[in-house]
Amino acid sequence: MKAIIPVAGIGTRLRPHTYTQPKVLLNVAGKPILGHIIDKLVENSIKDILLVIGHLGEKIKSYTVSSYPDVNFEFIEQKEPLGLGHAVYLAREFFEKDDEVLIILGDTIFDFDLSKFLKSKFTTIGVKPVDDPRRFGVVLLDGDNFAKKLVEKPTQPESNLAIVGIYLIKNPKLLKESLEEVVEGEIKTRGEYQLTDALQIMLNKGEKIKVFEIDGWYDCGKPETLLDTNKFLLEKNGMNFRRLGKLENVLLIPPVYISPTSKIENSIIGPYTTVSDGVEISYSIIRNSIIGDDAKIQNALLESSIVGSGAVVKGDYKRVNIGDSSEVEFY
């Protein structure tokens, strides 16, 4: 089976990081987001992967090709991010003759039994009930658990089942035709060509679409969700003590990820902290944070922070000279 991963988006919600790094290469729990996804595909013997690249696409190309020599990658460029439907439309020649194709978004980490999902006999969409479905595509079901209607970002949602970004398509030819109808017919929702709209066309043409509820769905699209995902993955994977960096007078509060090429001294790190390659930290306390490659942190207290590659953070110690029973608060 082939997989398509659209990774051409600009990642505006994760600026300033995404000005220089593609979102999918941001490090979560010691690995780029895209690495977590590709590892899962490879575990399930999927080795033909097409990436729809755009913004900072060359970086994605060199990361994937050098990190996964055994995977057959193909790349297609989406020059303008006109929507997920448009990204998959550009990939149509890659899958149109196949019996099935898997589509998986580049900024979503899944922790579930993918092999079970892949066994489905029908076109299947990963879903999860959410409190506020207005930011998502949603699915309305008929009595037999098949989709009867799909709506992208509804203002008045009729269902709370959100589409979470993994799709198994059992009729790729019909998907291709439906995407052509959307893109060539200029059907846009909220200014973009939507994959959800193409799936609705498939439904209208008689395709049976099942849903598959996914609990382990971790969005990485915003700073808060990126940090939550980092926390979840570190909690799950614990701590790799065999390959820590150079540590001197350091207290680690697990779970943390510490790159073997980092250098930390006189500091307290953790819990829920990722320290990437080449990072140098001294005299600092850092928790619930992601520190990017080659960043330097000195004398700093950091919490819920994302520090970009090569960034420098220098803090300061306060001096006080206060008498008995005084009360001082620093913000």
> What residues line the site for ligand UTP (CB under 6 A)?
6-13, 23, 52, 78, 81-84, 86-87, 105-107, 221
Q: Which is nearer to ligand UTP, 87 or 138 (CB)?
A: 87
Cis peptide before 154, with omega less than 30 degrees from 0?
Answer: no
Partners of 163 in the β-ladder: 127
CB of 54 to ligand UTP, least distance (A): 6
CB of 18 to ligand UTP, least distance (A): 7
Q: What are phi and psi of 291, to 5 degrees?
A: -110, 120
Instruction: Kindly give, in sequence order, each residue whose CB lies less than 8 Å from that of residue 176, ignoring residues fewer than 6 positions away.
Output: 92, 95, 96
Instruction: Kindly give, in sequence order, each residue whose CB lies less than 8 Å from that of residue 268, ignoring residues fewer than 6 positions away.
Output: 250, 251, 253, 284, 285, 286
CB of 15 to ligand UTP, least distance (A): 8
CB of 85 to ligand UTP, least distance (A): 8
Cβ–Cβ contacts within 10 Å for residue 122, how many? 16
CB of 83 to ligand UTP, least distance (A): 5
Q: Which is nearer to ligand UTP, 167 or 300 (CB)?
A: 167
Q: Which is nearer to ligand UTP, 222 or 246 (CB)?
A: 222
Rounded to 10°, the helix 172-184/195-204 angle is 120
Pick the closest to residue 147 from 98, 215, 196, 216 (CA basis): 196
Pick the closest to residue 167 from 225, 134, 127, 112 (CA basis): 127
Q: Which is nearer to ligand UTP, 127 or 275 (CB)?
A: 127
CB of 251 to ligand UTP, least distance (A): 36
Q: Which is nearer to ligand UTP, 137 or 172 (CB)?
A: 137
Q: Which is nearer to ligand UTP, 223 or 254 (CB)?
A: 223
